[in-house]
Amino acid sequence: MLHAKYGHVASFWYGKHYYVSLASPQAWKDHIKAFDRPVELFEFMRPLNGDSSLQTTNGKEGKTRRKIYDVSFQHDALQNYYVYIKGMANDVAKKLSSVPPGEHITLQQYMSVFVSKALGRVFYGAYFEDEQKVTELHRNYETILEALNQKVSDSCPANDEKFNSALNVWRGLIQEAIQHRRDNPPLREEDRNFLDVLIDFCATDEMLLSDASTFFIGGYHTTMYMLVWAIYFLARDMKIQDKVYEEVIEILGKERDVDFMNQSRLRYLKRVMDETIRCSVLAPMAARVNYEEDMKVVDYIIPKGSGVIHALGVVLMDETIWPEPERFDPDRFLPEKVAERHKLAFSPFGFAGKRICPGYRVSYAAGAQLLSTLCRKFKFHLVGGHSIQRKYGFVTLPSEEVRIMIEKRE
């Protein structure tokens, strides 16, 4: 086990791997170019991701896929997404408007529908405009994950029948979306989406289904829980909430929606999202391996074939970088504060070169759209004023359901 400069060690369950706190700049430096991922670490996800997933594809093949796919989540491609996500954010606001005053709202329930719709539409196209299909998509996905968690934790025997049946329905839906897109290709170049890229590129149907699934898996819980945590933090602090509201009114007025051009002007909202990702420790780890030769990290030699866990979450809670790390304070991301820190201190999407998260901009786009729409219309109040704990996994979940009440703004 490695103790890096600041003495932190992450407590993951993955026995035979090394844990490196990336609070050490040297550890960052030594490891920044690593690309390959320990395949065994993700083996338990194989039924979901599929046999040919990018997630476990290393070397030249992995790098080629990343190069082709990444374009779908970069600036130009993102412009189209706002149009779709806008309508979905307005739907959530409409639904919340009809909730009687004082009624408790379970955030997870609303956010899972919003994120499934947004990812479904953005990744796969019109097939997931059908509300019933979206509901099937996320309900079955939740069932799969619940069973998978049981399998991994061994806390109670997994219900294989339930798991297999949910998996078949979920994969079947994505398969149908692929067929739908094949039958209805876009007429204009600018309407091409991620699925079109996959359809053109993937050599086999299994690879196509695997990667179409992998991106939903990568984006669903991360985006959904970023939103749940964000509203939780806002509901705890009316001053911060009011600042978001004031900024939205100043930049967008009462009616305008977020788009590709104006999103960057919502600077306070961006700081709220960054601080949410940090303070919730949303995605606490990444991992790398070198199967070919030994790796040197700081003063340690990692034998070839041994995985290194990037303890991203440990860095996000390091009090030498973030004083009072548990305090939610978006002003940590003021430009002058950012300039004082090591440039990799905030690396919640991974830091190691070409394999960092390809899709995080989708989360920011969805987050900016939904949070600005909701903050303009409502004040959020936490039910019972309770303090929620973090439940760590590949994505950090709130330890219990987050319930709020809303009050309409004038």
Taking the least distance from each CB to ligand HEM, the nearer of 78 and 249 is 78
Report CA-CA distances (Å) from 46 to 23, 51, 85, 204. 31, 6, 30, 17
* Helix, strand counts (H, E) of the chain: 14, 10
Q: How far is the CB of 347 from ligand HEM (least distance, A)?
A: 8
Strands annotated E in 112-166 = none
Provide the 8-state DSSP code for 43.
Answer: G
Choices 142-150, 260-268, 278-286, 330-338 (CB under 6 A): range interacting with ligand HEM: 278-286
45 binds ligand HEM (CB under 6 A): no
Give me the phi and psi of 105, to 5 degrees please: -115, 130
Q: Quick one: which H or E segment has residue 199?
A: helix 194-201
Choices 23-31, 136-144, 168-176, 349-357 (CB under 6 A): range interacting with ligand HEM: 349-357
Please say whether the beta carbons of 387 and 282 come within 8 A: no
User: What count of Cα atoms within 13 Å lies in the side-chain half-sphere of residue 398?
Assistant: 21
Strand partners, 1: none
231 binds ligand HEM (CB under 6 A): no
Number of residues this chain uses to bind ligand HEM (CB under 6 A): 28
**Strand duo 105-106 + 18-20: pairing:** unpaired
The mark string for 66-85 relative to ligand HEM (x by CB under 6 A, - otherwise) is: x------x------------
Taking the least distance from each CB to ligand HEM, the nearer of 125 and 359 is 359
Which residue in 352, 306, 314, 280 sits closest to 3, CA to CA?
314
**Strand duo 397-398 + 390-391: pairing:** antiparallel
360 binds ligand HEM (CB under 6 A): yes
Q: How many CB atoms lie within 10 A of CB 12?
A: 16
Q: How far is the CB of 192 from ligand HEM (least distance, A)?
A: 16
313 binds ligand HEM (CB under 6 A): no
Place of tokens 């009114």: 249
Among 17, 355, 377, 379, binds ligand HEM (CB under 6 A): 355
Among 193, 222, 290, 369, binds ligand HEM (CB under 6 A): 222
Q: How many CB atoms lie within 10 A of CB 41?
A: 19
Taking the least distance from each CB to ligand HEM, the nearer of 162 and 343 is 343
286 binds ligand HEM (CB under 6 A): yes
d(CA 365, CA 362): 5
198 binds ligand HEM (CB under 6 A): no
Among 48, 54, 227, 309, binds ligand HEM (CB under 6 A): 54
Q: How far is the CB of 218 from ligand HEM (least distance, A)?
A: 2
55 binds ligand HEM (CB under 6 A): yes
Choices 23-31, 181-189, 242-250, 351-359 (CB under 6 A): range interacting with ligand HEM: 351-359
Among 27, 362, 371, 402, binds ligand HEM (CB under 6 A): 362
Choices 159-167, 175-183, 221-229, 379-387 (CB under 6 A): range interacting with ligand HEM: 221-229
User: What would the two tokens of residue 321 be?
Assistant: 């970088």
Report CA-CA distances (Å) from 330 to 8, 223, 278, 337, 362. 24, 18, 10, 11, 20
Q: How far is the CB of 268 from ligand HEM (least distance, A)?
A: 18
Taking the least distance from each CB to ligand HEM, the nearer of 233 and 379 is 233
Taking the least distance from each CB to ligand HEM, the nearer of 240 and 285 is 285
322 binds ligand HEM (CB under 6 A): no
**Strand duo 18-20 + 307-310: pairing:** parallel
Please say whether the beta carbons of 267 and 247 come within 8 A: yes
User: What count of Cα atoms within 13 Å lies in the side-chain half-sphere of residue 226?
Assistant: 32
283 binds ligand HEM (CB under 6 A): yes
Among 21, 108, 116, 223, binds ligand HEM (CB under 6 A): 223
d(CA 41, CA 245): 42
Choices 13-21, 89-97, 130-138, 222-230 (CB under 6 A): range interacting with ligand HEM: 222-230
Q: Which residues bind ligand HEM (CB under 6 A)?
A: 54-55, 66, 73, 214-215, 218-219, 222-223, 226, 277, 282-283, 286, 312, 348-350, 352, 355-360, 362-363
